[in-house]
Amino acid sequence: MIDWIIGFIEGEGCFNITIQEIKNKKSRSLQIHPNFQISIGEQDKHILELIKSEFGFGNINLMPKKYWTIYGFDAQNQYQYKINNINDCLLLTKILDDQLISSKKQSYIKWKQILLFVSNYEHLNKKGILNILQLRDNVNNVSKRKNYKDYDYYSIIVDEMDSRGLFSEKQILSRKSTSKKHRCTK
């Protein structure tokens, strides 16, 4: 069964790094979210249920047609199996390591590298976040997306964060503590 699922991931899986820009009245900051997803038509939802059952983690959600049109796709309602919890993403790497053989392997390697940066809290310092931003551009050709924001755009925000002292040792420890509270362990 696992070989079939890996083949399905080779064809339909998507390794993503979501960069969330947090804005308030006075400043901006970034959050990094590695995630994995498979989207298929609603008639094949049972396949996603089978994958979720085999893995034992992840979520399945209906993604209505209007969601896809926002991103410029002409698609019908689809279901999406998504893994966005850091711990579950790390579990996925234990399943997929040395298994992928298609061109998707290169995206996976970069995605995993970013995932490890985040799991080791390297995204909380300036150098780490800039490394992540550089790698991210090579995961699933994100630069082809409709609302793509590039390294230069985000590096300006990173400089703003640095000027506000968000990469000081005290701030990093505080953010690391907050981040640990939101992670579950398995």
| pTM summary value | 0.84
Compute, in degrees rounded to 10, the torsion defined by CA atoms 108, 147, 73, 102. Answer: -20
Query: What pLDDT score does 142 carry?
Result: 58
Task: Tell me the per-residue pLDDT of 1-57, one tens digit each, with 9 for 90 and over.
Answer: 889 999 999 999 999 998 999 998 888 999 999 999 999 988 999 999 999 999 999
Mapped onto helix, strand or coil, the DSSP state of residue 30 is: strand
CA distance 114 to 133: 9
Query: What pLDDT score does 186 carry?
Result: 45
The full set of domains in the chain, from first to last, is 2-182 (3.10.28.10)
Mean pLDDT for all residues in the chain: 86
Poorest-pLDDT segment among 3-12, 104-113, 172-181 = 172-181
Query: What pLDDT score does 71 carry?
Result: 59
Helix (H) or strand (E) holding 82: strand 78-83
Compute, in degrees rounded to 10, the torsion defined by CA atoms 160, 164, 165, 167. Answer: -30
Dihedrals phi, psi of 36, to nearest 5 degrees: -135, 145
